[in-house]
Structure 1
């Protein structure tokens, strides 16, 4: 019996010797895990700092330094946008394209936003992008999509805009149904776009040329109010200059031919693109794909029919409810798409004419 008891105690002592070894091993594994986590966090932090520097974060801070409250609000941490989009979940994608992907997100302050992940990779473009963000941060107009800020802690900068829920002007115009937007709505939207361009061209401290005006970047909110968006191609013009020479950028069908051939960008390039939108509103034809039986593009065919007094061939039947206003808008559109840039009207004059067309209607409605 004694012998067996000794064996049992010996066995128990042998088991207790393994305890410290197991605890030590567990501590070593835990230390390694914590070190790896620390290393990973440091690596992420270094990478964020690298991207922030690469994306000219210091330049943006410097440009915004005179308005510290704007600077603090404009530069948004990556963690905030990761949470806002559920780690950039594919289900949050609104649309994608050649210029990047747009995600829907909800910020910690409960603002619903659209987060644009750009495809910019060239350092020169990043420098220009930062300058544009600094300018756009100071824009506040009801017909311009509000820029909340940007994130510079990723390989390419992220832009954060207010979320506009009702699609684009292009979406509403080019539906399969025979009827689209009413003539009143089209005229009002055209006036709102004109107003936003007047603001960009002449009401901000440094005039801005949008450079890519088209129906697909004119967003409509819940009240069908138009908001101009997509300032990725925009350029600002120093106040002492009338234009600048730059790499041609824009969308086929809307692109100013004079700018295309000379690379000289002026505010009249936006006027041309706006004229194309007026033609699109009048005809419901797509500027980038339309070809007449004679092989003419939309702009050429429209101008030819207008000069022949035969616009009825191309005008959307629904807009005929606009009466004489349709002819006036058609004439205005033709002046905007004049091949000679210097003969095009300014956006201020265009806005004035469009407002003038709406005033009589407003008075009539009040009287009736």
Structure 2
């Protein structure tokens, strides 16, 4: 019997003045929730930050790439492994990828959309012609297309998915056979309180100005805000395992890596201007068997704009979890929280107690990851 396991990740994180994720006007994205305007960071922005953080710690063959320039990437691999000159390698690469039926983009050599693939998958495609690439390159276009027809190009993209593709999925609208259902869902991050858009008026001085010249060499404005954000993501462990070919150990490693990277990563918008990197005040995980549960309803009534917003947000989140669990009769398999609030501080005593009641005694972040792995492994083992 297969036991479904959903791993919910709840994060409370305070970000100083920043523009993490800009809209079409160049200002921080916003949303109206609970009748007030909130700071917002799109799920796409934080998923990309998480994926890049994850990939930086993975071996090169295990990384995933998302690009329109897959033909050029494949040609480069063919050239590096066989020594074939670039133009000829490009012809062979185009013939191989033509089997997939990818729609072509406006720019020559580009696909019409970003294709998400594993580096090792593209290596396997290049390896299909290692022993015959010189003969293939000598053929005319028609002969080349016919010669590679029987090579299993599509099959290389349907198996052996890297963790990035297994976690975040892949959609190719006109080739459903290449689709991979995502194991991860990520919500848009929202401020737990009302947020105000502000503008930084800046000037830049020309270092080579003559002494008699005054004024700025450039002036401008950058929109920014500051916020305590509620961030949420959930992982379907069964889907993750299926995407990784049924490899439970690989899925457990991917789960731990995702939670770690989701907690530690941040979008890089205007990071040189604002140096906005912080770490969460709270990371809580809940393992459920019924369905994922986003606790953003804790903040439908915005946290008052006063000191201690992070502590009030964490306390409100804990209370929402406890209330919802009691109301619905939930029995999560595992709950744990790592946070910075202590009962020794009068200002956070109530928060620490609420968090302990909701998620158990606080643990370090490494201990949270270790406990999560152990619980999910035991759950999977019991269901096998």
Same fold, TM exceeding 0.5?
no
Structure ID, larger Rg: 1
Q: Which is helix-richer, 1 or 2?
A: 1
Instruction: State the TM-score, normalized to the length of structure 1.
Output: 0.30
